[in-house]
Amino acid sequence: MIVEVALNLPIRKSFDYHWPDKLTIVPEKGLQVLVPFGAQKKGGVIVRVKKHSGITRLKNVETLVDEEPLFSEELLKLTKWTSEYYFCAWGETLNAAIPGGLALRLRTTYTPLTTSLPGLDTLSQKPQILIDTQSTWTQQEWLQCNPDERDHQQLRNWLSKDHVQSTQVLLGQKTKPKMERWIRLLKPDNPKNSVSRRKTKRQQIFEILNENREICWSDVQNRVNAPSQALKKLKEEGHIEFFEKRVYRRFMEGGLPEIEPFKELTPEQKSVFEKLSDSLQNGTYRTYLLEGITGSGKTEVYLHAVREAQKLGKSCLILVPEISLTPQLVNRFRSRFGDHVAILHSGMDDGERFDEWSRVRHGFASIVIGARSAVFSPMKNLGLIVIDEEHDPSYKQGETPRYHGRDVAIFRGYEAGATVLLGSATPSLESSNNVSNGKYELLSLTSRINQALLPEVRLLDMKTVPGQKGSPYFSSELVEALRLRLLKKEQSIVFLNRRGFAPLVRCSKCESTFTCPNCSLSLVYHQVANQVQCHQCDFVKPLVQRCPECGSDHAPIIIGTGTEQVEENLKMFFPAARILRMDRDTLHGKHALSKMHDRIRRHEVDIVIGTQLVTKGHDFPEVTLVGVILSDLSLNIPDFRASERTFQLLTQVAGRAGRGYKPGKVLIQTHNPRHHSLLCAKEHDTRQFRELELERRQNLRMPPFHSLTLVVCSSPHEKRAENLIWEIAEKIQKLSSNKNYSNTAQFTSEIKPIDSVQVIGPIEAPMKKLRNRFRWQLLLKADNVRPILRLLKQVLETPPSTRRDELIQIDVDPHHLM
Ligand code: ADP
Ligand code: ZN
Ligand code: ZN
């Protein structure tokens, strides 16, 4: 038998291996195996079993990692589609699809087969002592002796002549099932009338086992002092047996939340739900876009739809942006569906995630709530997929595989015949366009629950409104509004999408800015830590007075503002207020975000200042004011999605105000009061924004009307990056003008053939240098993605040869053109 194995390597093909007789089980798709690759051993997944291979001298599969397939047929198909659409290796997608990845740890050990090794005395001192004193040694121990080239040569020599044998031991997956020792009662004791009043250990154990026939070893230990000997004896007598039982590590603290009844739906919610219910009953694929203003009760609709799917015996997948995955949301599901809910997100450790994933795989949990990668969860019989905040940019993965969670979910729904529900107050233009062209069906919720009104929004033109003494970043109107809320004991949110104290530090003498040595970016000043940091790589250093350029000792100038500085301003304006800063720098530990949410809910905080973290995923009824500082930040990014992002961010953050019984107010400080993103956000006019922006995109020939793919070449050497991209560009140009790229597409397409792929660039990337690599890029544009993929496939069949530390990255449907 031959098996085809997908490896977690950036090579877009799988490799054939021979299935050795020593592996007694029949090879099967989806099994995880360990195979030799070059001089190394790699973990991979069997993606095909076949009789013949085009290659003659095949290597053997080394070992089987697990006897149960890790991936079902459905997931193999989904990951294959993902890797083809996003132009990456299948193994890379498989690796991203399981918690902890395919990483396996191996230990190599060496054992001499003869008593005296020839040439032992020619080794350097330390390796010689190692071999002299140990009967076997590990590779790690060998390397710790700092062997030189001659030592390595000698070892290789011994290995080739079978004087020394090397063995590799699989240390298992990074994440393993956690097992517990349990005790089972087989034969009860004949109780003898004991004379002593003190119970023997034996009696105590029987007492416990009479209550529960099966009990965990550690529970017995808690109740009986040092029970081991007594237990052993009972086992020998055949009264009890020991067994291993798998326990599932759980992320959620405490038990299940109290059961909460389903809310009766409002007429508007009801008509949305009925559509979904019909679709679920129907059992065929359909995608719905639920456009519902903030606070209109979308989540309640999701809950009802999940209940309906469960009634039909179907499992459900709920995707949410990472930061909305808070206990409040999770508890809303757990209080309705209990332990049928599994949670998957990156804040959990590998063991917890692996166990939740296993609960899904074994059918113990049929409702999965998770961030992006949960789209690959192993549930069977999928009936409903919900993608909450479908417009959220965090659904797009920033590293290989660069997939979009929403789009992969839709493919999965299509294959499974599931109902897919995209929800948002500010749908993406892609999804809106798919409503226009009939691919999705639109559902809407137009009013807030409890007749709450959308907040009044005012744009404050910072060029004309009176400023506040003490900070150029505050208008006096915002400060007064905050003061009023403090007096009325209501809560406020101040939003600024930039952490740190100030984004620029400049020498007061030579005027050079402090930049990151690894990236072409200015360093951001963080006052609390008194250091400058790069927000792209991990570079940090203490802020020093001396200028790195001219050596002047004049104090550097700090320019601009960030959340730290706004917090400082607020403390100055309102010394008695309780202020909470919520950004990545103040989030420490696993449950930090939810602890902050609890504090806000309990009204232990008057003003929250924060980045994007404050904009979504929670419901604070006491918040009546939202202030936005520097609302134009996201507009100034050189990206065609800048307007869309700005509109979405402002609408989302404005939606935090006035969700309870008290009306809300939003003050947006800006330098662009006439920009359509701001004007539409002010009017809560999603439709107007969509129309304006779609027209603009059509004129620019940009998504959603055209498809983009970004190719980035990076290298530590500037010239190399440039040469690499040019090599690709020239090949593309040639092929695409010849129009002779092959049509053996793996994408069965009913779409009309496309004439050309437009090549834009090569240009130096806007982010010229990142993590010590220079970057050049080119952009491919076509009517849809298929011709681009066909072209890339041909061009990269024989990719330009890259050195170590050089990369060719392909980003299909990129979210940043930086
Ligand atoms: P969204 O997800 O659209 O922002 P939510 O589902 O969080 O809105 O609903 C906002 C608030 O209204 C929540 O506190 C929720 O419990 C409540 N709510 C939702 N639907 C109903 C309903 N049918 N009856 C009463 N309260 C509801
Ligand atoms: Zn200087
Ligand atoms: Zn950097």
Cα diameter, the chain: 101
pLDDT exceeds cutoff 60 at 407: yes
Look at residue 593 in the predicted model and tell me its pLDDT. Answer: 84
The answer, yes or no, to whether any atom of ligand 1 lies below 6 A from the CB of 424, is no
Within 10 A of 483 (CB to CB), how many other CB atoms are there? 14
DSSP string covering 143-182, please?
A: HHT---HHHHHHHHHHHHTTSEEEEEEEEEESS--EEEEE
Q: List, for residues 122-131, the tens digit of each pLDDT value.
A: 899 999 888 8
Q: How far apart are CA 171 and CA 106, in angstroms?
A: 6
Kind and range of the H or E element at 406? helix 405-416
- Cα of 259 vs centre of ligand 1, distance in Å, is 17
The answer, yes or no, to whether any atom of ligand 1 lies below 6 A from the CB of 260, is no
Kind and range of the H or E element at 315? strand 315-319
Q: Which regions of 551-647 does DSSP assign to beta strands (E)?
A: 557-559, 579-582, 607-610, 623-628
- Cα of 568 vs centre of ligand 2, distance in Å, is 28
pTM for this structure?
A: 0.84
The answer, yes or no, to whether any atom of ligand 1 lies below 6 A from the CB of 295, is yes
- C-alpha R_g of the chain: 31
* Closest ligand 1 atom number to CA of residue 293: 3
Q: How confident is the model at residue 381 (pLDDT cuts 50, 70, 90)?
A: very high
- Cα of 124 vs centre of ligand 1, distance in Å, is 73
pLDDT exceeds cutoff 50 at 411: yes
Q: How far apart are CA 643 and CA 666, in angstroms?
A: 19
- Cα of 525 vs centre of ligand 3, distance in Å, is 13
The answer, yes or no, to whether any atom of ligand 1 lies below 6 A from the CB of 296, is yes
- Cα of 557 vs centre of ligand 2, distance in Å, is 11
Integer CA distances (angstroms), 527 to 566, 568, 584, 585, 728, in order? 12, 10, 15, 11, 45
* Closest ligand 1 atom number to CA of residue 269: 23
For a pocket test of ligand 1, which of 290, 369, 386, 449 has the largest count of ligand atoms closer than 8 A to its C-beta? 449
Ligand nearest to the CA of 297: 1
The answer, yes or no, to whether any atom of ligand 1 lies below 6 A from the CB of 227, is no
pLDDT exceeds cutoff 70 at 599: yes
Within 10 A of 726 (CB to CB), how many other CB atoms are there? 16
The answer, yes or no, to whether any atom of ligand 1 lies below 6 A from the CB of 269, is yes
- Cα of 510 vs centre of ligand 2, distance in Å, is 4
Q: How confident is the model at residue 449 (pLDDT cuts 50, 70, 90)?
A: confident
DSSP state of 450: G
Look at residue 202 in the predicted model and tell me its pLDDT. Answer: 87
Ligand nearest to the CA of 512: 2
For a pocket test of ligand 1, which of 424, 450, 619 has the largest count of ligand atoms closer than 8 A to its C-beta? 619
Q: List, for residues 166-177, the tens digit of each pLDDT value.
A: 876 666 555 666
* Closest ligand 1 atom number to CA of residue 265: 23
Cis peptide before 401 (omega within 30 of 0): yes
The answer, yes or no, to whether any atom of ligand 1 lies below 6 A from the CB of 324, is no
Cis peptide before 762 (omega within 30 of 0): yes
pLDDT exceeds cutoff 60 at 306: yes
Phi/psi of residue 379, nearest 5 degrees:
-75, 155
* Closest ligand 1 atom number to CA of residue 445: 3
Kind and range of the H or E element at 578? none
Look at residue 416 in the predicted model and tell me its pLDDT. Answer: 97
- 16 beta partners: 4
Mean pLDDT computed over every residue of the chain? 89
pLDDT exceeds cutoff 90 at 678: yes
Q: List, for residues 601-656, the tens digit of each pLDDT value.
A: 999 999 999 998 888 767 788 999 999 999 999 898 888 999 999 999 999 999 98
Ligand nearest to the CA of 517: 3
- Cα of 549 vs centre of ligand 2, distance in Å, is 5
Ligand nearest to the CA of 659: 1
Which residue type occupies 413?
Answer: G
Average pLDDT over residues 334-361: 87
Can you read off the two tokens belonging to residue 567? 């917090």
pLDDT exceeds cutoff 80 at 415: yes
For a pocket test of ligand 1, which of 299, 391, 444 has the largest count of ligand atoms closer than 8 A to its C-beta? 299
Torsion angle of the four alpha carbons 485, 489, 490, 494, in this order, in degrees rounded to the nearest 10: 60
How big is the chain, counted in residues?
Answer: 818
Ligand nearest to the CA of 513: 2
DSSP string covering 724-776, please?
A: HHHHHHHHHHHHHHHT------SS---SPP----EEEEEEEEEEEEETTEEEE
Protein residue whose Cα sits closest to atom 17 of ligand 1 = 297
Look at residue 226 in the predicted model and tell me its pLDDT. Answer: 84
Q: List, for residues 216-231, the tens digit of each pLDDT value.
A: 888 888 888 888 888 8
pLDDT exceeds cutoff 60 at 399: yes
Ligand nearest to the CA of 555: 2
Kind and range of the H or E element at 442? strand 441-445
Q: How far apart are CA 149 and CA 156, in angstroms?
A: 11
* Closest ligand 1 atom number to CA of residue 425: 3
Look at residue 324 in the predicted model and tell me its pLDDT. Answer: 73
Q: How far apart are CA 409 and CA 564, in angstroms?
A: 38
Residues 400 and 809 sit within 8 Å (Cβ to Cβ): yes
- Cα of 25 vs centre of ligand 1, distance in Å, is 53
